[in-house]
A = this chain, B = another copy of it.
C-alpha cells in the first residue's frame, strides 16, 4: 500500500522547496546568487531593460530560455509619453511582487492554503527633490504605504503570522527599507 501525498501547495512544490533548503543548509556555498539587468536608452524618458542570465547554486543558469524585455517611461507631466510605467512605479511593483511571493512561499511551508493575496502600494514624493528645484526634499518616496489583503484556510492570527514572516524574509522589502550599497562605474568612450 502506498500513500500518495500532494506536495503542491499554493502552486509551490513543497517537496522541492524543502529539498532545496536542505541542500543549501548542507552546502552554503550554493547560496551565492547574482541577478542582472542591462538597460539601453531609446529616446527621451523611454528606455528598455533586458533580463536573462543569472548566477545561482555554483554556476551560470542555463534553464531560462527567454529574455525578458521591460520598458520604462514617464507620463506627460514628467515630460514623457507613457512608454511604460516609470522607474519609481517599477520599484513599487518590485516591492509588491516580492512581498506576495514571500507570503505565498511561507504559507506553503506552513501548510496554509491561500485563496488570495492582493496589495495596493502608494509612494509619496515631493518632486522638487528629483527635479533639483529645492535641495530640501529627498529625491525618492518619503514613505511607502502597503495595504495587503490575504485570505486562506487558516485562522486570522495564523494568516497575520504568515504575512509577518513573509515581510521578514522578503529580499526587496529588506532592500527598500534598509538600502543597499550601490557602486557606479562610468565610461564615456
Contact = CB atoms under 8 A, between A and B. Distances in A.
B94 A77 contact: no
Contact of A54 (B35, B61, B75, B171): B75
Nearest to A25: B133
A8 to B, nearest CB: 9
A169 to B, nearest CB: 5
B177 A181 contact: yes
Given A127-B24, A139-B173, A171-B140, A63 B47 contact: no
B75 A146 contact: no
A96 B39 contact: yes
A34 to B, nearest CB: 5
Interface majority SS on A: helix, strand, loop or mixed?
mixed
A97 B87 contact: yes
Given A49-B92, A90-B97, A150-B188, 4 more contacts: A35-B141, A47-B96, A130-B169, A130-B170
Given A57-B77, A87-B171, A141-B175, A41 B96 contact: no
B70 A93 contact: yes
A171 B125 contact: yes
A38 to B, nearest CB: 5
A111 interface: no
B104 A41 contact: yes
Nearest to A33: B125
Interface string A54-81: 1011000101111010101011110100
Given A97-B72, A140-B178, A91 B172 contact: yes
A188 B171 contact: no
A118 to B, nearest CB: 5
A20 B176 contact: no
A43 B115 CA distance: 10
Contacts of A147: 185, 187
